[in-house]
Amino acid sequence: MTIRVNLAESSYDIQIENNAIDRCGNLFDKYNKVFIVTDSGVPKEYSERVAKSANGKAVVFVMKRGEENKNFVTLMNICNDMLTNGLTRKDCVCAVGGGVVGDITAFAASIYMRGIDFYNFPTTLLSMVDSSSGGKTGIDFGNVKNVIGTFYQPKKVIIDPSVLKTLSERQVRCGLAEALKMAATFDSKLFDFMSKGSFTDGEMQHIIERSVELKKSIVEKDVKEKSIRKSLNFGHTIGHGIEVAGKESRYHGECVAIGMVAMSSGEARSRIIKTLSKLGLPTDADFDTEKVMGAIVHDKKATGNGKISSVIVDRIGEYRIEDLTAEELTKRLNSIKRCT
């Protein structure tokens, strides 16, 4: 399946195909070199197979795994290696990994020589359904996620569901959280489908395809997050705060899941809690409210008037955006605080 993202001169295809990892070499034929970035947590075979498909043109850079390494130091090391290997605008960069790898690699591609071609080969469910497309790039800085970055569209995104076989169950659940986020805000039928909690390989591919279609339609309407694209932040405002300042070690998708509970109400909230539980995702957390709120108020979604632009779901398949005060957010935050 190929999904076209129509963005005028920045348009590109998202290809969803099993075993595409061994058939992506034709993408690189026009380039002198292919600079592949992966991390130490991604099975080595994936970057090796992409490199092999590049017919001897590839250079592989391996960064340390983990969100804490999505920083200026790693960015500098990537750019330094690109320069050392003599990359020019006749070359390209390819990310092979999850959201951390995709974000920082795309950022490096966007600023190196004022921009060279970038390809994304996501290897986690979370990056497949969300972060690999849309053109958001960035690094974390000052304990704030993705606060420094650019909008830079890839030349192509290649999604190979077969690589999910090496993904841990926990990482799969994190990806399902991001898919559920889009279902909760835009597609009640997809939400109903996901509410059963377990899926065959074919059903998982359907979730990927539908999530990508939803993301594509949103990005085409609002590339730089001025309006409708803000909806994709459902669960992220509070989720990011818990991720960087919570007492527990939580993955991004788990924090988004908890954030969705906080930012929903009524029947939507009860249905979200029930579905998250079926998917094996958390619905509450242990944290210091003051520390989490400190992270939230420095989030890039702050409006500048002392309020935070927040996405709220009162009914599955619909959303509203409201500027909330710190007091209002604190109340929602405390609603998902685990009693200890």
Please tell me which residue in 173, 252, 269, 271 is annotated as part of the active site: 252
- Does 225 participate in catalysis according to the annotation? yes
Helix (H, G, I), strand (E, B) or coil at 221: helix
240 assigned to active site: yes
Residue 121, number of CB atoms within 10 A of its CB = 31
**Catalytically annotated residue among 215, 216, 250, 271:** 215
Residue type, position 136, single letter:
K
Partnered with residue 144 across adjacent β-strands are 141
Q: What count of other Cβ atoms lies within 10 Å of the Cβ of residue 80?
A: 11
| Residue 136 annotated among the catalytic residues of the structure | yes
215 among known catalytic residues: yes
Q: Phi-psi region for residue 225, left (φ > 0), alpha (ψ -120 to 50) or beta?
A: left
Residues with Cβ within 8 Å of 67's Cβ and at least 6 positions away in sequence, in order, are 100, 140, 145, 243, 252
Rg (C-alpha) for the chain, rounded Å, is: 19
235, 286 in Cβ contact below 8 A?
A: no
Alpha-carbon distances, residue 138 vs 13, 147, 246, 266 (angstroms) = 22, 7, 22, 35
Task: Respond yes or no: is residue 114 known to be catalytic.
Answer: yes
Catalytic position from the list 240, 250, 269, 332:
240
Q: Residue 18 in contact with residue 161, Cβ under 8 Å?
A: yes
Q: Is 60 helix (H, G, I), strand (E, B) or coil?
A: strand
Q: In whole angstroms, what is the distance from residue 34 CA to residue 164 CA?
A: 24
**Active-site residue among 155, 233, 250, 254?**
233
3-state secondary structure of 264: strand
Q: Which of 49, 146, 181, 225 is catalytic?
A: 225
**Which of 33, 70, 136, 156 is an active site residue?**
136
The DSSP annotation for 43-64 comes to -HHHHHHHHHHTTT-EEEEEEP
Instruction: Name the one residue in this structure whose structure tokens are 């190929």.
Output: 2
**Strands 92-97, 34-39: pairing kind:** parallel
Residues linked to residue 15 through DSSP beta bridges, in sequence order: 2, 158
- Catalytic residue, candidates 70, 181, 210, 236: 236
In angstroms, the Cα distances linking 114 to 10, 108, 148, 150, 152 are 15, 10, 16, 12, 11
- Residues shown for the chain: 340
Active site residues: 114, 136, 178, 215, 225, 229, 233, 236, 240, 252
